[in-house]
Amino acid sequence: MALLEIKDLHASVADKPILKGINLTINPGEVHAIMGPNGSGKSTLSNVLAGNEAYEKTAGQVLFDGLDLDELAAHERACAGMFLAFQYPVEIPGISNMYFLKAAVNAVRKYRGQEQLDAMDFLDLVEDKKKVVKIRDDLLERAVNSGFSGGEKKRNEIFQMAMLEPKLGILDETDSGLDIDALRIVSDGVNALRGPDRGFLVITHYQRLLDYIVPDFVHVLVKGQIVKSGGKELALELENEGYASWVGEEGV
Amino acid sequence: MDLKLLRDRAENAFRENGFPTSRDELWRFTDVSPVAAAAFDGAWKPADIPFVPLGSVVAVFENGKLSLEKSNLDGLPAGLHVGSIMDQADERLGSLADAQSAFVSANTAYFSDGLHIQADDGVQVDEPIHLVFLADADGMAFHVRNLISCGAGSKLTVVEEYIGGADDSAYWTNAVTEVFVGDEGTVDHYKVQRESGGAFHFQTIEASVGANAVFSNHAITIGSRLGRNDIRGKLTGEGGEAVCNGLYLLKDRQLFDTHMFMDHAVPQCNSHELYKGILDEKARAVFCGRILVQQDAQQTDAVQSNKNLLLSRGAKVNTLPQLEIYADDVKCTHGATVGELDEQALYYLQTRGIDPAAGHAMLTFAFANEVLDEVKCRPAKAHIEKLVHEWLDQVSA
Amino acid sequence: MKIENEKSFDEIAEKEYKYGFVTDIESDSLPPGLNEEIVREISRRKNEPEWLTEWRVKAFHHWTTLEQPQWAKVEFPPIDYQAVSYYSAPKRKIDAPKSLDEVDPELLETYEKLGIPLREQEVLAGVVAVDAVFDSVSVATTFKGKLEEMGIIFCSFSEAVKDHPELVKKYLGSVVPYKDNYFATLNSAVFSDGSFCYVPPGVRCPMELSTYFRINAANTGQFERTLLIADEGAYVSYLEGCTAPQRDENQLHAAVVELIAHKDAKIKYSTVQNWYPGDKDGKGGIYNFVTKRGHCRGDNSKISWTQVETGSAITWKYPSCILKGDNSVGEFYSVAVTNNMQQADTGTKMIHIGKNTKSTIVSKGISAGRAQNSYRGLVRVQETAENARNFSQCDSMLIGDQCGAHTFPYIDINNPTAQVEHEATTTKIGEDQIFYCNQRGLDTEEAVNMIVNGFCKEVFRELPMEFAVEAQKLLGISLEGSVG
């Protein structure tokens, strides 16, 4: 069974149509990259998939692990194994990262019928995951994303992904605002999480990220539609030629 | 000044002026006529109310009277003196507290007990001194007077906790605490107010902060039917620092007023104030924060913020953050917000698997918890966190 | 930020109140003093209908029961209201001028000195229609004919009382009732003239409407009244300018402005206030006590106030919006500059009543010399105002260590769906900023001007173009001599 199956997806923001018929299938173990210029609908796609109510799905169907997404609220999608790494992670002053993560891990475990983790088990899990995705202890003690640098926020997103062990990870322009060192650290984390049962949807404007997270498939999103799909070489092609041939001069 | 003379003057002032009315600018939003109208002729009785001591030094007041039996004031470190204010003459008494205030006048005239704490120069005490005021005597007025004196280079942590009985008894706590922080001294002061649902609670806390000294105050308000904190700091020595944070959690028809006044009289001082409030049902909060930067107080850095969360229709907030600035080389900001929980943050929590109800509770706690970030005293912090959780659980139930 | 033009710096060098000349015109004044007879006499001289006379008299009697408010952070000696003359009209050959040709040429010259050419052909290339109020009486209204074709009524208040009594009767006092406050009540009793404007449904007023107020005669109070109505779907942009001659004694100005925006209507009201501020020791200057309020009566209506306050010895004004219609919008953009001994206590009130109402407050206070500058503002969200939004930003700048800058917001929230945010900062001009400018060839005064103009940019960009230029120049003049 496909992990994610998007059929003729249309979506609007504030009554303005953005996505105009997306078709995409992701199987377990596959890494798909979606590339596109600004305003092509990349962030809309990730938000519609994650269930942000500000984005309205107007037509089409999305099956996640065999479940119709229309039936699932945002937190249920998360519990079912969908993880969105935000382009701009939200700051939540007053809640420590650890407290937050424990609540999230236990919510997901509860949904999956697993036992709740007590404080000791949870700390063990954190120690475990810190081996996969490196994160400084002080970031875990501080309030969620509060006062984090851009790179720290992104690293925190990847660490959360490691903790929640999703089936599908969606990375929404995770590379934006990162210098080359931060980009490498974040990518190493993602690569460590790749596996035969887990799919990834990597959304990016630039090819650069795909040097580090090498995709199996690349899709070009322009004006709300996938205009071309191919292998990883398509990303290089885009890097050389830009989006101009699809968008026209005015769109670049 | 001679204590007798001070008391006579205060009594005359109180008799002459009486209680403030809503025509008084400082009392516009808080009607104290229920206090003025009440007769305080109740009889004393012992107060059997449970409490948890936050350290080994505990002073327990039972319906206004220091109970040596319930207190533990033995084995104090050398240079630390703690005892009833009635036994310890201190000429500084009354030198700080605002003589213009009717409540302070009444307190000065009528106080019959309170705690005197003194740390001699260079005496550093890490353990908190816990003042517990238990009250459940219906119809009584408690004029409590405390004086905290921290010598040069000394350090004190003081927690004042006001606990009412569970029976909604109607009494009036009228407390005044004067705090003297000597040069390079540190006073870390907490006030936890959880009076009974029928009580009136008024307190003035007035601090004078010396050069390179630090005064911090955290005021947590949960109880009382009608009340007010007047928290006033005066930075009198260069390099001084004052932190005044607070949290008010109100429900039913509670009305609580906080008036904060920070007086920058000399250069190079900092003051920070963060006040947050959560209001449910028909509760009302008043916050008035005034920062005064006098002409000589160059290089002042003052930040003040008041944030409110309204949980229900009928809850009301009046907030008045004020800046009054007469020096030009200063950095002063204030901010105030009123609103609901952040939708973006709720969505973020949802994408991490947390359902909306749990997310709501988590963010409400987070909102309150920001005030506790700067609480250094660990036992106080744990205690306050527990009280906040209990309050939130009651509200969401 | 670029410097507008060289002329503004020449003007700075003049170091004097540019508008401080006295026009030598005989005026027809009432003797100083205030009683019911004076109030009736004002009404009689203006041939007013009885209902208006009685309204004035009611206001007068109410005024005698009031006390002058004390809450503002301004200090001044008690005003002797009996020493003020409450009516002063320039004497004319005939009763009312029918056209500009009949207006006293000396008056026209005065307006030209003020930079307000009244003659139609000169009126800013035909984009601004002007009503000018000289002392207490409205002198001439330009472009009346052209506006009439569109159904827009723009005339002096007295003419409106004569020609459109039904409109005046319907709206007068409907936003600022005669009992509103001490100064508005006084105005209601003795107001002498002002401007009136009515824009009919669906009409977009094609030009900026403008009023210039000037106090000329000595010992005269000016009490004008402006009433502006935008009917359903209408739009109007209105400009108001004020000047007064330089006199040693203080003069009283207590105006009332009422705005009414019906459904889908929009009103933009801009003021550049440059009354004589007094000399550097605080001698003379105008006491400016003004009540301005707009009522967003209909759904989706909008009222926007922009003010640049550089003049007056004392400024006491709070242009406000009552947001009654659902989705209505109120805005307040203000620059208040005080130098020498000036005192300003100014701000706004935003009263949210309707659903989804929004308000924005941007206030910039600049204080120099020994001046005191206060922002005082109220944001109230009533129980009925679902999803109300307010954002307030109040910034103060101090120039020199003898002045004061204060911020007194009042936030009163009664609905849990409200989102209200208030921010305030106080700063000074950094020496590093000035040095940077010096190093790039600007002298200190130019640098201060530029930095202050940058500080006020958010407000200036709300002003109509020609006003924005004038406002920048005024700012420079006001701050003259404030840096060593």
Sheet holding A199-204, edge to edge: A82-85, A168-172, A199-204, A31-35, A217-222, A225-230
Which of residues B296, B317, B341 is at a domain's end? B341
Same structural domain for residues B115 and B237?
Answer: yes
Helix and strand numbers (H, E) in chain C are: 12, 24
Give the CA angle between residues B80, B86, B90 to the nearest 5°. Answer: 60
Q: Can you give the pLDDT at residue A143? A: 85
User: Hey, of C339, C383, C406, C482, which one would you mutate to test binding to chain B, going by the most B CBs within 10 A of its CB?
Assistant: C406
Tell me if B354 and A107 make a contact (CB, 8 A cut-off). yes
How many interchain CB pairs under 8 A, B with C?
Answer: 107
Question: Which pLDDT belongs to residue C195?
Answer: 87
For C467, other C-beta atoms within 10 Å of its C-beta total 23
pLDDT in tens, A90-118: 888 777 888 888 888 998 898 889 999 99
Residue A17 has pLDDT above 80, yes or no: yes
Parallel, antiparallel or unpaired: strands A92-96 and A82-85? unpaired
Minimal CA separation from C56 to chain B, in Å: 29
The answer to whether residue B335 neighbours chain A at the CB level (below 8 Å) is no
A94:B358 CB<8 A? no
Give the closest of B320, B328, B340 to C400, CB-based: B328
* Whether B173 and B81 share a structural domain: yes
Res C226: pLDDT: 93
Shared domain for B244 and B311, answered yes or no, is: yes
For position C387, what pLDDT does the model report? Answer: 95
Give residue B276's pLDDT band: very low, low, confident or very high (50, 70, 90).
very high
A153 touches chain B (CB under 8 A): no
Measured between beta carbons, the chain B residues lying within 8 angstroms of A95 are 362-363, 365-366, 369
Task: Say if residue B323 is in the same domain as residue B376.
Answer: no
Count structural domains, chain B: 2
Task: Tell whether B310 is within 8 A of chain C (Cβ).
Answer: yes
Cβ contacts of residue C40 below 8 Å, gap of 6+? Answer: C53, C56, C57
Contact in structure between B138 and B42 (CB atoms under 8 Å): yes
Which residues make Cβ contacts (< 8 Å) with residue B120, sequence separation at least 6?
B79, B80, B81, B151, B154
Question: Residues of A with CB below 8 A from B365's CB?
Answer: 94-95
In a shared domain, residues B346 and B335: no
Query: Using CA atoms in the order A126, A129, A134, A137, what is the torsion angle rounded to 10 degrees?
Result: 0
Residues in CB range of A155: below 8 A, 6 or more apart: A133, A134, A135, A139, A182, A185, A186, A189
Which are the contacts of A72, defined by CB distance < 8 A and separation ≥ 6?
Answer: A51, A64, A80
Indicate whether B330 and B348 sit together in one domain: no
- Residues, chain A: 252
Mean pLDDT in residue range B289-300: 94
Q: ∠ CA C74-C76-C77 to the nearest 5 degrees?
A: 155
- Do chains C and A meet with 3 or more Cβ pairs nearer than 8 Å? no
- Same domain, yes or no: B103 and B121: yes
B46 & B86 share domain: yes
Q: Which of residues 340-369 of B touch C (CB under 8 A)?
A: 340
Determine the pLDDT at residue C119. 42
**What pLDDT sits at residue A221?**
93
Strands A92-96 and C208-214: unpaired
Chains that touch A (3 or more CB pairs under 8 A): B
Residue B76 has pLDDT above 50, yes or no: yes
Q: Is B348 in contact with A92 (Cβ distance < 8 A)?
A: yes
B354: which chain A residues are within 8 Å (Cβ-Cβ)? Answer: 75, 78, 103-104, 107
Best B288, B306, B337, B364 member to test C by mutation, with max C CBs in 10 Å, is: B337
Strand partners, C393: C362, C423
Identify all chain B residues contacting A166, using CB atoms and an 8 Å cutoff.
none
- Cα angle vertex C207, ends C206, C208, to 5°? 140
pLDDT given for residue C437 in this prediction: 66
Of B247, B278, B348, B389, which to mutate for an interface test with A (greatest number of A Cβ within 10 Å)?
Answer: B348
- Does the predicted TM-score (pTM) go above 0.80? yes
Q: Please list the ranges in chain C whose pLDDT falls under 50.
A: 1-15, 92-98, 117-127, 136
Whether the Cβ atoms of residue A18 and residue A42 lie closer than 8 Å to each other: no
Q: What is the average pLDDT score of chain B?
A: 94
| Under 8 Å between Cβ of B170 and B140 | no
The interface predicted TM-score (ipTM) is: 0.86
Residues B286 and B394 in one domain: no
Q: What is the mean pLDDT of residues A200-228?
A: 92
Q: Does A92 lie at the interface with B, CB-CB under 8 angstroms? A: yes
Model pLDDT, residue C393: 94
Distance between CA atoms of C472 and C478, rounded to whole angstroms? 10
- Which chain A residues touch B345 with a CB distance below 8 Å? 90, 92
Of B313, B341, B369, the domain-final residue:
B341
C52 membership: H or E segment, kind and range: helix C50-63
Which residue, of B314, B341, B368, is where some domain finishes?
B341
The per-residue pLDDT of chain A, averaged, comes to 89
pLDDT at residue B328 above 60?
yes
User: Which subunits have 3 or more CB–CB pairs within 8 Å of chain B?
Assistant: A, C
Residue with tokens 């007025």: B141
Q: Report chain B residues whose CB lies below 8 A from the CB of A75.
A: 349-356, 359
d(CA B373, CA B392): 18
- Residue B354's domain spans which residues? 342-397
- Looking at this protein, which amino acid is placed at residue C253? H
Compute the distance between CA of residue B1 and CA of residue A247 in angstroms, rounded to an integer.
85
> In the numeric block, which tokens belong to residue C279?
């000399």
Do B154 and B30 reside in the same domain of the chain? Answer: yes
- Classify C114 as helix, strand or coil: coil
B225 shares a domain with B267: yes
| The pLDDT of residue C216 | 56
Report residue C285: phi and psi, to 5°.
110, 160
Average pLDDT over residues A161-179: 90
**Is pLDDT of A127 > 90?**
yes
* Of the candidates C268, C382, C410, the residue with the CA atom closest to the CA atom of residue C323: C382
- Considering the domain architecture, whether residues B95 and B219 belong to the same structural domain is answered as yes
A53, A95, A111 member nearest B369 (Cβ): A95
Q: Which residues of C333-365 are buried (b: 16+ CB within 10 A; e: fewer)?
A: bbbbbbbbbbbbbbbbbbbbbbbbbbbbbbbbb
Q: Do A89 and B363 lie within an 8 Å CB cutoff?
A: no
B253/chain C closest Cα distance in angstroms? 14
Cα–Cα distance for residue pair A201/A2, rounded to 1 Å? 14
Read off the pLDDT of residues B227-259 as tens digits, 9 standing for 90 and up: 999 999 999 999 999 999 999 999 999 999 999
Q: Which of B273, B280, B251, B247 is nearest to B385 (CA)?
A: B247
Q: Does residue B326 belong to the interface with chain A, where contact is any CB pair within 8 Å?
A: no
pLDDT at residue number C207: 79
Sign of CA dihedral C458, C463, C469, C474: negative
Q: Chain A contact for B355, CB < 8 A?
A: yes
